[in-house]
Structure 1
Amino acid sequence: MASYKSILVGLDLSEDTDQVVQRAGELGKAFGADISLAHVIEPLTFAYGGDIPMDLSEVQEQLQSQAKEQLRKCAARLDVPAERQHVVLGQPATELHRLSEELETDLIVIGSHGRHGLALLLGSTANGVLHGAGCDVLAVRVQRNDE
């Protein structure tokens, strides 16, 4: 089994985040690895294609502020210092690849919802991160309460 020294954890900050944080913490402890946390926010202009005739920058700033606070709470559980907490704008898979390279991580940990059917065909962030990563990727199968 590989020995990991630097782990990047990509979090969507959903209700499933705790499961991913727990698994990443276990891995970090087992390998004595440094853990970095990341949350990627897709710019609102991506979602709406610039079709909304209003300035969304204030809303975007609020989203970033809320994400930073949520990420800070996750980081506190794992004793991850502020300099290893990253909230970035962009496309999730692309930004996680970039950040992983920049931080020279040897493992990316992400949550996977195990979608089926149409959602599987359309792809997911987990699938996007897996393909194109320059290091190992662990997709943590998150369990919903209704599963």
Structure 2
Amino acid sequence: MYKNSKLYPDQDAELSTVQEAAAVYNSPFDRIRISRKGLSPVFVQDLMQSYRLNKQEVARLADVSAKTLERHFDSGRPFQGLQSDRLLELADLYLEGLGIFGSQDKFLTWLETPTIALGHVAPKDWLDTHEGIVMISDEIKRIQHGIFA
């Protein structure tokens, strides 16, 4: 079993928030399986609510058009491939931030606030790339250990 287990929704699970994700992955193999199986539109809508994002913002972060996002929501078709990978990264980051900041409001306020460590840019502005998410995660870890830039 891997040290840092993550919570992810199983396609068949009924979810109300990202924090209540129903399936746990204990290895990279499980994460790959979940990503390949796809993420339900319900999970993506919960992620939207957790981050307080609108459809255009989620479409940009998942690298799909707003129209494609809407089609997934309307049809119930799961998000797969690179979109599911990015959405899983965002879910990881949300849970990590929630754990460190202690509340959704504090974490989301931090995401909106420009920080020196991220080039005087709000962390939220880096969410659209893998490397940006990694930078934000690294900064959250520094905060956890009391290292402020």
Greater relative CO, 1 or 2 (CA 8 Å, sep 6+): 1
TM over 0.5: no
Q: What TM-score, normalized by structure 2, do the two folds share? A: 0.24
Structure with a larger share of its residues in helix: 2
Q: What TM-score, normalized by structure 1, do the two folds share? A: 0.24
